Chain A
């Protein structure tokens, strides 16, 4: 997927108040309404990582889409994942990846994935923009490719959420400053514009004021990150550790940069 393109697969961007683990436990306890919410959330958060993992494993575009459909249909919707889930045994995405590996080694999956699924139940991936892995992550293993796509999707959703919150709360200028000074320079691979320039552009008198406005958006971004990560770990105490692990993953893989 071109990084300039925006995807809205999986419905709206509203936050999910329950963690994946608690939702799984509710589903296991027989609460069907939780199953529907859980499936929607998992699909939103994980279909792109699953697809990227499959592409990295050598499957073509169509085959990877079929297998992604098959995995969510059979393993996630089929509740196999719910039965396997144990919050004491690690991160949710690790569980999902292991389940995907088991799915792939099942006999004749590649050939039969699509035709087993009733057409009316197919997940409409064709309607959405399919992500492409950047060439630089070729040297990474499949799990790293999955993590790359998962983090990308996480950040994508967070940025949309933070922007929406800023606009809702009368902080459009805060967002614009954050966007121009922090986000866009990273995405365009260029130096951030001087604060004085942004102040002139947006009619802000003091650079300190602009700096504080940018910091306010960063704080929202930080809160959003913790909130989102909390959904996939077992307890509050694991969030900081998860942040640290993801930072280490990204930092250690920087060697592959172009």
Chain B
């Protein structure tokens, strides 16, 4: 990298560069949107799939890559998919991957924050409904993130409950990461 250096950047700039390298979205990326987030998040989560938005288009594409049956989304909202104990683990993996990719690629910080929330909701759903950890994050780290999301003012009550249940599972499994 000729004539460029990271040294001397402000801390927030350094955080932005560092976040490029984190394949798991930073839950703190969903901070600072308390007044604006509740409505759009509820709207996104309540949409019947597929919906033609960037989020849903990406989800459909991701599912196709993973070999998931797109028809399983028909007539269902994302919230319904995330909360259902019958949702296939492969679909949750697709939602997670989709949320990860979108959280890093969307221009709007609020949309990216919503994608991050969806990413963590997929992780929580996999833990709660399938007893599966579909991320490399440790249970300690996940517990902290779930607790953060559960306490957000804008989070939908059903999702807050999901995050709380997932956090409880993480606390029970604390220290067992090496055996996963």
Contacts and interface: CB of A to CB of B under 8 A. Distances in A.
B52 interface: no
Contacts of A202: none
Q: For chain A, give the interface size range.
A: 35 or more
A214 B20 CA distance: 11
Interface string A1-34: 1111111000000000000000000000000000
A137 B11 contact: yes
Interface string A205-241: 0000001001100110110111000000001010111
A251 B26 CA distance: 9
A131 B11 CA distance: 15
B4 interface: yes
Interface in B41-77: none
Interface residues of B, number: 40
A160 B40 CA distance: 39
B7 A240 contact: no
Interface stretch (A94-102, A106-114, A146-154): A146-154
A241 B1 contact: no
A240 B4 CA distance: 28
Determine the main DSSP class of A at the interface with B. helix
A151 B1 contact: no
A45 to B, nearest CB: 14
A64 to B, nearest CB: 15
A56 to B, nearest CB: 14
Interface of B: 1-24, 26, 28, 31, 101, 104-105, 107, 135-138, 140-141, 144, 177-178
8 contacts: A136-B11, A186-B13, A187-B6, A187-B17, A214-B105, A241-B140, A243-B24, A257-B12
